[in-house]
Amino acid sequence: MAGGEGDTKPLHIAMFPWLAFGHMLPFLRLAKIMARKGHRISFISTPRNIDRLPQLPPSLTSLISFVKLPLPPVDGLPPAAEATSDLEGHDVIYLKRAYDLLRQPLSGFLSNSRPDWILFDHAPFWLPAVARDLGIPTVFFSIFIASALAFTSPPADEEQEYRRTAEEIMVKPKWVPFESDIAWRYFEAEKIFSMILGDDLHPNEFYRFRQTLKGCDLIAVRSCRELESRWLDLLQEMHRKPVFPVGELPAPIEEIEGDGWRGTGVIKEWLDGQKRGSVVYVAFGSEATWSQEELIEIANGLELCGLPFFWVFRTQQSSDDSKLPEGFEERTKGRGVVWKEWAPQVKILGHDSVGGFLTHSGWSSVVEGLQFGRPLVLLICYNDQGLNAKFLQQNGVCYLVPRDERDGQFTRYSVANSLKMVVTGKEGATFRIKAMEMKELFGDTKKHDNYVYALLEYLEANISRNV
């Protein structure tokens, strides 16, 4: 990469996230920060995914272009399925197969458009080779925090993945030199291990991470030094290339202060009628799914806790035609709301009546909760959520709903007691205080934007202009 010192010409940056909204949305938030500095972004995904993304503010429509690459058909993949949220977990392998077939159309776009850099996700392990042939430098952007990335991905000199059983991902990896209890619990490991395995034709997740980290020119991580300094340093030692934290990507000020209720003013009216710090906000992201038994325990836990609650209940979060307990909504009417449509999460979390957040520990939800100082009660579903939760627990930032370590079962009583303790109990004061301390960090949008600006300065100084 040739230096471009003194060259202030705006960059053209391509972005290629994995086909999950928990990945696409952080990429889009990063794109907006970069575009506000005058850089041009080509955001690449499939047609249906792009159509489902939030609308851009008018000031950025000329700087962020959406590039639609049709997803190739694959046996086993429903025609309308273009994101992980469209599928059951065991069917995501078909989405990965289709995603890998985007290599050729993506190569064509990059060859024609010649961006200065491409930021990409962990899944397209083949992208660095494509970009290298075209002379385009690459940034692996990890939506996973530094500790989770270091846990998941072996160092550069580790030729083979030594962890071949679920039990081996329940302990600290051999390359982590300091004390840490960040690892998956037994029930999480059993669930995640079967999901990350590939097949005879397609690589598993460990392989994708390893090849991506080997092939990229530099690593950008959704993290900050105030939270994960030693993990960021470890990543740089492990992979022997620049590692840039890009901050936590909190919601921007205009999203917090603007009129973001978008036709859901009835939610605000209900929240306005509740006491300050009394409401439990319940949301498990766009992809978490619960069995009928688990769903009943969550609902009954909310009923038993006696606190006002607002539950964003997505139909895909219940499998096998799961239903809420009979009469649940009638019995909790007035005290609780089960909301079955889109809800403005940032606006709800920012409301003074919210006193706690029951969530799955997806990092975007964690950031939005702590941005407003809301204490976290975590009920893990799958993927990196268990690693996020252990990191937060290790730092005293959250409370995990107690559950059986072997099968992951939890009860209505563990849900109810956890919520009462964290939101109103004396024992929960430490979590409430810690959440307010975290608000100082996660709510400082200027601090986090400055991390992105530092990355941009490096990208501007290390490009080879394509003609």
| 28-44 pLDDT tens trace | 999 999 999 999 999 99
* C-alpha torsion sign, points 146, 284, 188, 413: positive
What is the DSSP code (8-state) at residue 273?
A: T
Name the CA radius of gyration of the chain, rounded.
22
| 120-179 pLDDT tens trace | 999 999 999 999 999 999 999 999 999 999 998 889 887 777 787 888 889 999 999 999
* SS3 label, residue 398: strand
| 256-304 pLDDT tens trace | 776 667 778 899 999 999 999 999 999 998 777 888 999 999 999 999 9
- Top-confidence residue, 260 or 417: 417
Sorted by where each starts, the structural domains of the chain and their CATH numbers stand as 12-250+444-461 (3.40.50.2000), 256-442 (3.40.50.2000)
Q: Is 76 left (phi over 0), alpha (psi -120 to 50) or beta?
A: left
What is 76-139 written as a DSSP string? Answer: TS-TT--SGGGS-GGGHHHHHHHHHTTHHHHHHHHHHH--SEEEE-SS-TTHHHHHHHHT--EE
**What is the pLDDT, as a whole number, of residue 2?**
39
pLDDT category at 1 given cuts 50, 70, 90 is very low
Element holding 454 (H helix, E strand): helix 445-461
**Which letter, b or e, does each residue of 99-110 get, where b requires 16 or more Cβ atoms within 10 Å of its Cβ?**
bbebeeebbebb
Which residue shows structure tokens 């060259």?
7
**What is the chain's percent helix, strand, coil content, to nearest 5?**
45, 15, 40
Residue 269, classified by CB atoms within 10 Å of its CB into exposed (0-12), middle (13-18) or buried (19+), is exposed
| 39-83 pLDDT tens trace | 999 999 999 999 999 999 999 999 999 999 999 999 999 989 999
- CA 105 to chain CA centroid, Å, is 26
